[in-house]
Structure 1
């Protein structure tokens, strides 16, 4: 399945574009308008970058915390640093491991969350920002020939942005 996404400035332009698409023979059920008074980004299914960031951080947490604990424990064993005064070095080693695990958790949050927030959502963040600016998005979903026909129609409205996408095939 292919998608065509066009960003238009006003509700009137979006309505006119939808009407022009219908007039050209593109079924109304193949066209969706996003924006105030229409579907929201969440209702349409645009990826929320915050959710992607949380998923990225969660994936990293599962292996960075144990690795951080092991690294912190080993570092304390190798260096012999005394965290607490006294003869019990096992407490020092475990404390080093806990500090390493905390560093691993922080790393998962920063790297997994930060990278997920900036790259995990693809173009969805751009479209969400445009919707937040009060613009409208016209989406046409269909075959390659339908999307090409819709592209010709939507170009007449001089959209701020127009982009075609091909839905990935799940293997």
Structure 2
């Protein structure tokens, strides 16, 4: 699936773009307007960076927490550090493992969550920010011939930004 996204400064220009695409014979079910009074970024399916970050942190925690526990246990066993005298040898090893698991959880939260916010959103975050600024997006999705025709039409309207994408998760249309 290919996409063309045009950023337009106001509702009037977004509607004019929609009308121009409609007059050119493009299928209306492939054209979307995003902005105030139209679809939101969530309704359209733009990735929410914070949701992606939570997902990334959770995935990292599945292997970092157990690895941290094992590393903490082994570290305490090798160094023979007595964390709490009342816990005994095995208890101190287990407490070292718990501290390692906590460190693994913190690593998944800060590294997995931080990188999810920084890199997990792709171009969705700038488009979300433009929508928050009151701008409008006209999105055309479809086969390459549809998006190429839409690009030519939208270029004539002088959008603030015009960008094309190919969705790598979808099979290519011909």
Give the alignment's TM-score, normalised by structure 2: 0.93
User: What is the CA–CA distance in structure 2 between the aligned matches of 1:167 and 1:62, rounded to whole Å?
Assistant: 28
Equivalences for residues 18-167 of structure 1 within 5 A: 18-86=18-86, 88-167=88-167
The Cα RMSD (Å) is 1.4
Compute the displacement of 1:87 (Å): 7.5
User: What is the CA–CA distance in structure 2 between the aligned matches of 1:67 and 1:31, rounded to whole Å?
Assistant: 48
User: What is the CA–CA distance in structure 2 between the aligned matches of 1:68 and 1:144, rounded to whole Å?
Assistant: 48
In terms of mean alpha carbon deviation, does 95-104 or 42-51 score higher? 42-51
Runs of at least 5 residues in structure 2 that lack an aligned partner in the other structure: none
User: What is the CA–CA distance in structure 1 between the aligned matches of 2:44 and 2:15, rounded to whole Å?
Assistant: 18
User: What is the CA–CA distance in structure 1 between the aligned matches of 2:165 and 2:47, rounded to whole Å?
Assistant: 15
Report Cα offsets for 1:29-69 as digits up to 9, x if no partner: 22100000000011111111111111111111111111000
Compute the displacement of 1:28 (Å): 2.0
Q: Secondary structure at the match of 2:162?
A: strand
Compute the displacement of 1:137 (Å): 0.4
Compute the displacement of 1:121 (Å): 1.7
User: What is the CA–CA distance in structure 1 between the aligned matches of 2:148 and 2:63, rounded to whole Å?
Assistant: 46
Compute the displacement of 1:86 (Å): 4.8
Give the alignment's TM-score, normalised by structure 1: 0.94
Runs of 4+ aligned residues of structure 1 deviating over 6 Å after TM superposition are none
Report whether the alignment pairs 1:10 with 2:14: no
Instruction: Give the direction of change, closer, same or farther, for the CA distance of 1:10–1:103 in structure 2 (3 Å limit).
Output: same
Q: Secondary structure at the match of 1:88?
A: helix
User: What is the CA–CA distance in structure 2 between the aligned matches of 1:87 and 1:166, rounded to whole Å?
Assistant: 59
